[in-house]
Homo-oligomer: A and B are copies of this chain.
Amino acid sequence: MADQPKVRVAIIGATAYTSRETLRWLLRHPQVTIVALCSRRDPQPHIAEVFPEFTGRLDMRCEAIDPAALKGRADVALLCLPNGVTMSYVPTLLNAGLRVIDFSADYRLKEPAEYQQWYGKVHTDLANLEHAVYGLPELYRERIRTAQVIANPGCYPTSAVLGIVPLLKAGLIDPHEVIVDAASGISGAGREPKPEHHFPERHENFEAYKIGEHRHMVEIERVLDAQVRGGKTSVIFTPHLVPMERGILSTIYLKPVQPVSAEHVNQVLAEAYDGEPFIRLRVPPPRTADVAHSNFCDMSARVVKSRIIVLSAVDNMVKGAAGQAIQNMNVMFGLEETAGLLA
């Protein structure tokens, strides 16, 4: 292991919260070198000016996003840019010989028309869209190994999909009766200050938003669709905002096709995730605090009257973003899948 060359990582969009979280993890990853921090700012800041916590820990100044300049310097680019922006960089990054892990939604929906419908933009990189792999290792580990472009999953979809897929594949549930009621900490909204995320508006407040209109609803559906023979799934998705920094809990209501016990449901989940390093089946309900600052997804199921209820908790910044990206990177570069992620 000591002789293996380190994976050389460039962060594109280095001033985002997801970049900060990625850097925190990369700094403790033994087999990685951070070679470039790229941003669209002018002038380019030192990373410790943007995130003072890196003072004395990471002495790098940001540089312009120039894929050609990364050729031969970096093996992989982690893109922490907004939706609609990353697709303009991906082709040139690939040309420069880098593999790409994209935190945005640009490569998650396979249908260009659907992307346009939900994200309001024409997709400009159809070639790479086609072969991009949805970066949920628990579902697509083999394809991730050789992928050139990883669409790193959304935070809500990660938590929801992991709780549903094994039951769907086992034929236990009605694919048209899926309700995902989820709640997230505020870091999920990104770093841009907005009136609705001003501290006094968010503190001591709980609310639902984009009810039935959130873009992650269609992302969840498309991932589930791929698991079902024939027909499509139907998901109702209601996100809420919790006055905390990080964490997502999905409370998932599923309709069993025939009576089922909680024991059986939990058994199906346990078997599906046997050997998975980041899925933990729990007896008590999962708490976002228990997965905070970790790449774990904690999960537990109940049966209440006519429904299976699956509770699934992740840290939206880790398993829901940076940690999952690093997990994907580990798989792509033949490292131990948990490298840098368990400590």
Q: What residues make up the interface of A, taking CB atoms closer than 8 Å to B?
A: 2, 17, 27-28, 52-53, 55-57, 176-177, 179, 181, 183, 185-187, 191-195, 197-209, 211-212, 234, 236, 238, 240, 242-247, 249, 251, 253, 277, 280, 282, 284-294, 296, 298, 302, 304-307, 309, 311, 313, 342-343
Q: Give which listed residue, B193, B246, B309, contacts A238 with CB less than 8 A.
A: B309
Check A206/B288 contact, CB under 8 A, given A199-B243, A240-B251. yes
Check A211/B304 contact, CB under 8 A, given A206-B287, A244-B206. yes
Does the CB pair A198–B191 fall under 8 Å?
yes
In whole angstroms, what is the CA distance A305 to B342 when docked?
40
Does the CB pair B199–A287 fall under 8 Å?
no
Residues of B within 8 A of A27 (CB): 342-343
Residues of B within 8 A of A194 (CB): 193, 198
How many copies, total?
4
Does the CB pair A199–B211 fall under 8 Å?
no
Residues of B within 8 A of A197 (CB): 193, 198-200
> For residue A255, which residue of chain B has the nearest CB?
B177
> For residue A213, which residue of chain B has the nearest CB?
B304
CB distance from A59 to the nearest CB of B (A): 12
> For residue A186, which residue of chain B has the nearest CB?
B199
Residues of B within 8 A of A192 (CB): 198
In whole angstroms, what is the CA distance A208 to B251 when docked?
8
CB distance from A60 to the nearest CB of B (A): 16
Does the CB pair B286–A203 fall under 8 Å?
no
Check A243/B240 contact, CB under 8 A, given A206-B249, A292-B204, A302-B212. no
CB distance from A131 to the nearest CB of B (A): 31
CB distance from A335 to the nearest CB of B (A): 16
Q: By CB atoms of chain B within 10 A, which of A181, A195, A236, A302 has the most?
A: A181
Q: Give which listed residue, B201, B249, B277, contacts A208 with CB less than 8 A.
A: B249
